[in-house]
Structure 1
């Protein structure tokens, strides 16, 4: 068993009288993912060769696009959490919806928000939406990687009990509620599993795809990202504890439908859509 590293969720705190500001690792992860993603899109748009012709947009427009993406991530991620995971609570306490600083973001909601924001921006600016989606798909794993590392530092979204040598003893409730185990118990570091699969491995696959001319097939990078993320999420959900609101004495694993978790249920449409994009892209000649 590995003791949880003593890392504070807050990087630093500034107090000036009654005013207090704290920079948290979670906020830094979002910032790093967005900045690195914007830089990645800018680099892709500077290389016409990767696209088999002119890049779909001018590199200088990335900053404007980033503003829309930030809005899509925050609004979509928050509303996704509200609708998918705790609709009853937020229906009774609607003011709590705007308190994003208290936590509560859902990837699938954030993804939907980015799709809507990017599509609307592309339509307003006469940018091919599918090719823009390919560029965003290539850089998305960077944000996923930083986000999952922040989840680990926050000791949240932990996994099920395990006796494997890399099991981690998370602090607080996670170490005290293992049925049949006396004393602290170790759990799968499922956040790190997701960081490795959704972030590092999927990101590497997409970079290799770009290097081998994948952007010359519109929709291919998007399809690989959708299918790759969905497959990784479905796999890791077997090692991850379901959200507390889905766990009951009669349903200790928190299954919501068809014997699967909410994360798996939301990932199945992504998997199907990703495979469809891959099939369509590969059935057409490259640019």
Structure 2
């Protein structure tokens, strides 16, 4: 069977000879998507947050996301590599970012910012959870373009060969699976329920559960991190974090229903 051989260039374009990776483009697009989509929600009266306050929240939150995502990955995924190659710490275009770490960092930042201004935590958290899945979609597409985070070996007709970072075996395009599940599908579901922003914590809980379930499923098709491998022979460290997300999401729903 003839499989697609991945040969995409991780560099989107060059500016005055300086390469501009797809990763950077995703960060820029993601930032502006969140900015304009939240502005739309505020103008329509769907979100009750103050947009001027949100602009400061978003700018510094973006920096927190980059920092916490990188630090979490270094500490819990690949510490030995960064001890041996400290120059890679700042090379965010090479990957090495943890979604779960970024999520924790952004959660802490949201709690700090809202308490500092005396605002409602859930108004900010729910609004961000509503628009974030669309950013995740582009993030996973960037993973595919880079040929990283590929799936396990398979013989399905849509398998892809990733010769640059793996071998010549056909593999599941797990990046695309994630882009569809935790990206487009989750975003569509969240957007259809956007008027639920009036229910504090509902969209945050739905995001945690939806992402957790989607990622947990795809992890069965995705290669585990080579430096960690499998846990209990079948599960990955990512699935452990996803179970925690699902638990926290369910806990939020239970607490909010009892109030």
2:98 corresponds to which residue? Answer: 106
Q: Is the 8 A contact 1:37 1:142 kept in 2?
A: no
Quote the Cα distance in structure 2 between the aligned partners of 1:4 and 1:133.
Answer: 40
Q: Which residues of structure 1 form unaligned runs of 5+?
A: 177-183, 247-253
Q: Deviations over 1:222-268 (max 9, x none)?
A: 0000000010111000000011112xxxxxxx213574201001111
Deviation at 1:142, TM superposition (A): 1.3
List per-residue Cα deviations over 1:153-182 (Å, max 9, x = no partner): 0000000111111111122242x2xxxxxx
Question: What residue number does 1:123 align with?
Answer: 115
Secondary structure of the residue aligned to 1:244 is coil
Contact 2:209 2:246 in 1 (8 A): yes
Whole-angstrom distance in 2 between the partners of 1:102 and 1:155: 11
- Matching residue of 2:3: 2
Give the number of aligned pairs.
258
Please state if 1:222 is matched with 2:219: no
Q: Which runs of 5+ in 2 are unaligned?
A: none
Once residues 202 and 71 of structure 2 are traced to their aligned partners in structure 1, the CA distance between those partners, rounded to angstroms, is 28
Matched, 1:36 2:37: no
Distance 1:8 1:173, change over 3 A: closer
User: Of the two, which has the highest radius of gyration?
Assistant: 1
Aligned partners of 1:220 and 1:282 also within 8 Å: no
Structure 2 residue 179 is the aligned partner of structure 1 residue 195: yes
Given that 1:30 and 1:146 are in contact with CA atoms closer than 8 Å, whether structure 2 keeps it comes out as no
Contact 1:68–1:121 (Cα < 8 Å) also in 2 = no
Instruction: Provide the residue aligned with 1:242 in structure 2.
Output: 224
Moved more, 138-147 or 82-91: 82-91
Q: How does 1:1-287 map to 2 (within 5 A)?
A: 1-15=2-16, 20-48=17-45, 50=46, 55=48, 57-94=49-86, 96-174=88-166, 176=167, 184-210=168-194, 213-246=195-228, 254-257=229-232, 259-283=234-258
Answer whether contact 1:72 1:114 (CA < 8 A) is retained: yes
Q: Flag the 1:5–1:99 CA change in 2: closer, same or farther, 3 A.
A: closer
Distance 1:42 1:173 in 2: 40
Superposition deviation, residue 103 in structure 1: 2.7
TM-score by length of 2: 0.92
How many Å separate the matches in 1 of 2:156 and 2:217? 18
Cα RMSD (Å): 1.9
Give the alignment's TM-score, normalised by structure 1: 0.84
Q: Distance between the aligned counterparts of 1:272 and 1:76, measured in 2?
A: 22
CA–CA distance in structure 2, aligned partners of residues 102 and 258 of structure 1: 29
Q: Which aligned segments of 4 or more residues in structure 1 are displaced greater than 6 angstroms?
A: none
Q: Deviations over 1:5-43 (max 9, x none)?
A: 54211112245xxxx521111111121112101222222
